[in-house]
Structure 1
């Protein structure tokens, strides 16, 4: 979910291998297939719904609406980046520096862009932030869909959109790895926090294997801690279904204010 550069892609690969090694997953499961970005299906929920999925990371919004009951929450990372508080995260509200937008209310009637319709950070959190400002169920002049947070930022920078809500971890990673991708942008603030992107396992993964993976993440050995530090992960926390219900509360609050759709 956070492979915004070759270095980070390699870092997450190292994290995975260190985790599998500490958890003894190969001994427990036998041959483990690594699925790389290029091999993932266009519809990620289909991949996340695989019962034989040993380990992956998903967004909390699709977990709440499509994966709950079909996948198991393993643990949630705690990042050392602005906008994160323990295993909670938020989105950075971003506009161009020359757009004249300095508060969210300034974006009324302008063009917003979001990565995916089922994204908590790009859509749900932004919808919740805008809901109190909307009039007759509308706030923006138009909403566009980009396919990724990085693409949303490019559209804002190039003037194809005026505002976006970007996962704060993605934003911090891009500042670190690809500073040019955020040049000329200003951060207006953060959205309401919610539980971060969870590590999940498929429904067919034995409980004993899930416990091994979870225990390794919660009490990492030296190689796993080293891999985590390279990714700005301080620790992992165990979060349950009640925690992720908070994502649904953001949606419900927006609906209660007469703003069921980002528009």
Structure 2
């Protein structure tokens, strides 16, 4: 099924709208994409605790972030548009990110091993950064018995992981490295209260997708507008700590499924 390109579509950046200022920047970026592409996009709110699964299932979805892990699994009726390229050394000019294993800045934990026996936080089972990358990173240390006295989750969002760390509810938890980039830029006081203990292996970034009811020509227009965003949207991209966008395909995310399969085969079903 396809839909004409002039039918209004919705856009949402909830996964990376870390605070009101960043949410506004994403809305402005989407507005520019709409102008360049000629595709009508209406930015909508879909704040937590509204399930992301509902957003990813909308037939009028024009642009929204989806985590690479559920995208790779093909569980949602979406097509890739483009993925952001973080302006960070970790990304190395590619649409890649990782998970930082974070503690409170004043924590006595200096190494990952020193966190074992404490309280581990995680977000939600369909998350790459908050679940799959975490258990893949912990798998070499796991010997069939829990590494932590308590596994706290689902905390659902990166913000909730941050809040739990700062409130002393957990001792260590995963944080999307791009979320951390945005925090350092827009909430330096929050970022200063956190400390990185270790970082997982880089993996493909969450990507912007459209519903599979959107016709191919419209998706191409949206993709081209994102890929060409550099010159016109330079200040917005700088504020969002991005160097641009890249075209991606579903197979680019196969490594995430391989990671998950290894953990599942070992019997390590959830971070613990």
Same fold (TM over 0.5): yes
Q: TM-score, normalised by structure 2?
A: 0.87
Alignment partners' CA distance in 1, 2:265 and 2:118: 23
Superposed CA deviations along residues 160-182 of structure 1, whole A, max 9, x for unmatched, are 10001100111121122222323
1:185, distance to aligned residue in structure 2 (A): 2.6
Structure 1 residues 140 and 83: CA distance shift in structure 2, 3 A:
farther
Show the 5 A alignment for 1:1-263: 1-26=15-40, 32-38=41-47, 42-68=50-76, 70-81=77-88, 83-85=90-92, 86-145=94-153, 146-220=155-229, 222-263=231-272
Superposed CA deviations along residues 145-169 of structure 1, whole A, max 9, x for unmatched, are 2232122112112211000110011
Contact 2:46-2:55 within 8 A present in 1 as well: no
Q: What secondary structure is seen at the aligned counterpart in 2 of 1:118? A: coil
> Structure 1 residues 226-235 or 15-24, which shifts more?
226-235
Contact 2:83-2:205 within 8 A present in 1 as well: yes
Q: TM-score, normalised by structure 1?
A: 0.90
Alignment partners' CA distance in 2, 1:221 and 1:79: 13
Contact 1:131-1:259 within 8 A present in 2 as well: yes
Contact 2:123-2:158 within 8 A present in 1 as well: yes
CA RMSD of aligned residues (A): 1.9
Structure 2 unaligned spans of 5+: 1-14
Alignment partners' CA distance in 1, 2:237 and 2:192: 27
> Structure 1 residues 56-65 or 220-229, which shifts more?
220-229
> Structure 1 residues 157-166 or 92-101, which shifts more?
92-101
Q: What secondary structure is seen at the aligned counterpart in 1 of 2:196? A: strand
1:242, distance to aligned residue in structure 2 (A): 1.3
Structure 1 unaligned spans of 5+: 27-31
Q: What secondary structure is seen at the aligned counterpart in 2 of 1:84? A: coil
Alignment partners' CA distance in 1, 2:139 and 2:230: 44
How many residue pairs get matched?
256
Alignment partners' CA distance in 1, 2:262 and 2:59: 33
Superposed CA deviations along residues 50-108 of structure 1, whole A, max 9, x for unmatched, are 2221111111122223545x100111000113533310100111112443322222221
